[in-house]
Structure 1
Amino acid sequence: MASDPLFGWDLTFKTVEKDIKRKADVIITFIHFNLIKRGFKSIGVGDERTLSGDEDKSELLPTGWNDNENYTLRYVLDEKLYILHGLNTDGNLIVNLMRSEDLAVSNVAVKIDDAVKEMSGPIEKMLPSHKDLMFNVKRDLIDTITERSTTTAHTQTTSNSNNRRANDDPLRVPPRPMPGVNPDTPDLWELPPANLPNIGRSDLDPFAPGGGGMIFNPFGPRRDPENPGLGIPGGLPRGAVPPGARFDPFGPPGAGPMPGRRRAPPDADHLPPPGFNDNMFL
């Protein structure tokens, strides 16, 4: 019956049985049978990647298909050329099916001695695991490449995408506004509000309006006259020292606190005053 997946195998094998030389030939014959079942037509041997249009299409394996240790067979499906490569190496048969139009490739690997037990007779004796092999050939070698889109389809999709207006692209990055111009809809490029200092902005935005770099200038116009900042003798920013924490004053010797501020009391870590000697080393 035509619904039998092995329908036609006996006839296919009988046409090449006298040509079988090695176990790998049985596997190639079985793969050829599966290709023919899916609509492929054989057009000869070789790796020529162009079609002349006058090739003879056949369901039979071409003459000389197993003259070499490795296999190179040409097939046609839907007016597209496919080339089957079979590489016999280290007891494995690696089979690639390439679509010449866009060089898309599918492949399947078979361990020869495990797959082929006999070189003639019923398929149950020649290929005891023929059901698994047929499934792998259909899934990995044939369906993978015949169901994959071709270059023509990809080009058409790309062309249609290019015809869309740029404004319709949801991934389009909005244009960056000029410095000092606030867009109608605020975005990441919008300048910060006027009440926030632009400290460090010029290091990130070469088009930013005037301002310092990442280092804050304590002598600049933005400094707090009541809290000059780190590095100014006798002064620190508010909150720099937690309440109750011990902290040694710093700054040049003899520099006192700012006018109007009470001198901080000394703590246990202060050095002794000049001239003090408790004779502790006598």
Structure 2
Amino acid sequence: MNSSLSISKSGEFFYGWDLLYKTVQSEVNKKADLLIALVHFLLTKYYNFRCLGLGDDKTLLDDEKGSELLPECWNDDDAKYSLRYVHDKQLYLLLGHITDDVLLVNIMDVNTKKVSNICITPDTLVVVIKGNINTLMPNASEIVDRYRNELLDPVFTGNSREVTTQTTMIIERTNSPRVLNPRRGAFYMPRGINPRPFGFFF
């Protein structure tokens, strides 16, 4: 996996993105949609995940079959995303929440209860919602690196904090994009978000 991800700064890494984008192009209506689609691309292509559909149901049925495609109505809600994935017979939840100009994304391993999180700003990362990957997100390779380091690898390598022990770091809002780049182990809390990772209840 590392050898594949190491080429994230080349066009070869994004081979297959165009096919995914074509399946959702007519549905994309906001910049955050593309950032969620990029997470989905990484999960399905480089982490061998399959999407089970919408929702946050924590029960995995034996007959559930996943897909490499995003499900219908995946971005119908203007403020949140809820997607279920399976990998090696383990269930994962991908939740996204939009507040102000911030997209907060969590991934949870339902079995271990480990959660990772990342805060990103769609308006600064996505230029337009129509076009090729370089037109849509000129810094796509940097976004990929952040996803891998802050969102994906922590859950799959066991470096993420448990849900019940996550801490909150309140950061004064400024114009600097670094405000939205929390330190490892810290949790940026946009205004209006419950301190507990949203959507995860036990």
TM-score by length of 1: 0.51
Whether 1:74 and 2:84 are equivalent positions in the alignment is: yes
Q: Which amino acid aligns with 1:108?
A: I
Residues 242-278 of structure 1: per-residue CA shift (max 9 Å, x gap): xxxxxxxxxxxxxxxxxxxxxxxxxxxxxxxxxxxxx
Q: Which amino acid aligns with 1:61?
A: L
What is the aligned partner in structure 1 of residue 117 from structure 2? 107
Whether 1:46 and 2:37 are equivalent positions in the alignment is: no
Whether 1:10 and 2:18 are equivalent positions in the alignment is: yes
Counterpart CA distance in 2 for 1:32 and 1:106 is: 15
List aligned pairs for 1:1-282, cutoff 5 A.
4-37=12-45, 38-69=47-78, 70-148=80-158
User: Where is the helix percentage greater, Structure 1 or Structure 2?
Assistant: 2
Structure 1 residues without counterparts, runs of 5 or longer:
151-282
Structure of higher CA gyration radius: 1
Secondary structure of 1:58's partner?
coil
Counterpart CA distance in 2 for 1:10 and 1:60 is: 12
Counterpart CA distance in 2 for 1:47 and 1:28 is: 16
Question: Relative contact order, CA 8 A, sep 6+: which one is greater?
Answer: 2
Residues 143-167 of structure 1: per-residue CA shift (max 9 Å, x gap): 11111189xxxxxxxxxxxxxxxxx
Counterpart CA distance in 1 for 2:24 and 2:115 is: 27
Residues 109-168 of structure 1: per-residue CA shift (max 9 Å, x gap): 111100010101011111011011000111111111111189xxxxxxxxxxxxxxxxxx
Gap change, CA 1:149 and 1:50, over 3 Å in 2 = farther
Identity of aligned residues (%): 38
TM-score by length of 2: 0.71
Instruction: Kindly report structure 1 stretches of 4+ aligned residues shifted beyond 4 Å.
Output: none
Q: Root-mean-square deviation (CA), in Å?
A: 1.6
Tell me how many residue pairs correspond in the alignment.
149
How much does 1:102 deviate? Answer: 2.2
Q: Which amino acid aligns with 1:18?
A: S
User: Where is the strand percentage greater, Structure 1 or Structure 2?
Assistant: 2
Secondary structure of 2:25's partner?
helix
What is the aligned partner in structure 1 of residue 187 from structure 2? none
What is the aligned partner in structure 2 of residue 261 from structure 1? none
Q: Which amino acid aligns with 1:36?
A: T
Counterpart CA distance in 2 for 1:133 and 1:68 is: 23
Q: Which amino acid aligns with 1:10?
A: D
Gap change, CA 1:104 and 1:36, over 3 Å in 2 = same
How much does 1:80 deviate? Answer: 0.6
Counterpart CA distance in 2 for 1:110 and 1:40 is: 22
Q: Which amino acid aligns with 2:61?
A: S
Q: Which amino acid aligns with 2:83?
A: L
Secondary structure of 1:81's partner?
strand
Counterpart CA distance in 1 for 2:108 and 2:97 is: 14
Secondary structure of 1:97's partner?
strand
How much does 1:6 deviate? Answer: 0.6
